[in-house]
Amino acid sequence: MLIQNDSPSVKGSLEVDRIKKPYFVWFEENWQHDDVLHQHEKAQLVYVESGFQYLTVAGKIYLLPQGHAAWIPPNATHKTNSHSEKIKLMVIFFDVDKELPFYQRVGIFSAPPVLQEMIKYAEKWSQIKEESPTETLFLGALYNELPQFAAQALPLYLVLPEDKRVRKAIDYLHTHYTRNIGMEELSLQAAVSLRTLERIFKKETGLTLSKYQQMLRIIKSIELLSDPQLTVSEIAYKVGYKSLQAYTNSFYSIMKNRPSAFK
């Protein structure tokens, strides 16, 4: 896997899997990552200090808000992109030597303060390819504690359907998510019968239409919560809720937290 970088400290492309050290740190503001699917043998911890990031991996699109981290297991095909104007990503690559389930699956979680501070401290080793005992010891401790840090994983993802008919319906939903859309309207857009779409929608996405719409609105609202110019009430109406209370209740049912915690 190649990471492109215009930094004067690293010229050209860097082949991550060729770095002969167990941990490798890469921090950068306004991160420019190739928006193409790729994979590498090293696992990857991505922390968003500011802005937000989307992560596509294992047939799902995950939202990674500010103050949250993602664990991408080794050899997972993935890509990242962001519509955030300014973003600061902190990325650490790991050689995985443990069989615990955590290290073998994707995880999105709110980074507790101690993890945030550890990640920020690791910036001192950014893009350094030579191994040092201090770095190895420090990042080894971070690596070992990740399952505990990620104990409260978040369901911030939507499934990418393989069926082209469902994909048409999903594309339409993503364009008109502020409206309450029924399955009849989607079946017209997908050019399939109502009964057929009802059957394959749940099979492909794992969600009912109403639950999918709810998840989509909450994810879109988390994007907007990173904008300091918008109030929570304004965001609630922007994503299609008729009242602040309805939005807050819906948000809490999924996130187990209130929208204000993401401002």
pLDDT digits (tens, 9 = 90+) for 168-202: 999 999 999 999 999 999 999 999 999 999 999 99
Q: Which CATH number does the domain 161-262 belong to among 1.10.10.60, 3.40.50.2300, 2.30.110.10, 3.20.20.70?
A: 1.10.10.60
Q: Which helix (H) or strand (E) is 238 found in, with range?
A: helix 232-238
Q: Which two tokens stand for residue 12?
A: 């050209």
Higher pLDDT, 241 or 66: 241
Contacts of residue 136, defined as CB under 8 A and 6 or more positions apart, other chains included, come to 21, 22, 23
pLDDT in tens, 233-252: 999 999 999 999 999 999 99
**Angle 98-101-106 (CA atoms, 0-180°, nearest 5)?**
105
Residue 30's pLDDT is what? 61
Q: pLDDT exceeding 70 applies to what percent of the chain? A: 90
Q: Distance (Å, rounded) from C-alpha 158 to C-alpha 212?
A: 8
Residue 12's pLDDT is what? 31
Phi then psi for residue 113, to 5 deg, are: -50, -40
Tell me the pTM.
Answer: 0.72
Q: Determine the residue type at 105.
A: R
Distance of CA 23 to the CA centre of its chain: 21
Distances (CA, A) of 159 to 57, 201, 205: 10, 11, 5
Residue 31's pLDDT is what? 58
Average pLDDT over residues 83-100: 82
Contact 190, 204 (CB under 8 A): no
Contact 65, 116 (CB under 8 A): no
Higher pLDDT, 33 or 170: 170
Average pLDDT over residues 32-44: 79
Per-domain residue ranges for the chain? 2-149, 161-262
Say whether pLDDT at 8 is over 60. no
Q: Which of 6-20, 75-89, 117-131 is the most confident on average?
A: 117-131
Residue 256's pLDDT is what? 82
Distances (CA, A) of 60 to 45, 157, 159, 253: 17, 6, 4, 21
| CATH fold group of domain 2-149 | Jelly Rolls (2.60.120)
Q: Distance (Å, rounded) from C-alpha 19 to C-alpha 32?
A: 20
Q: Distance (Å, rounded) from C-alpha 112 to C-alpha 25?
A: 19
Question: Band of the pLDDT at 116, cuts 50, 70, 90?
Answer: very high
Q: Which two tokens stand for residue 253?
A: 């049912």
Residue 237's pLDDT is what? 96
Contact 28, 10 (CB under 8 A): no
Q: Which two tokens stand for residue 190?
A: 């997908």
- Of 12-26, 58-72, 197-211, give the lowest mean pLDDT range: 12-26
Question: Band of the pLDDT at 45, cuts 50, 70, 90?
Answer: very high
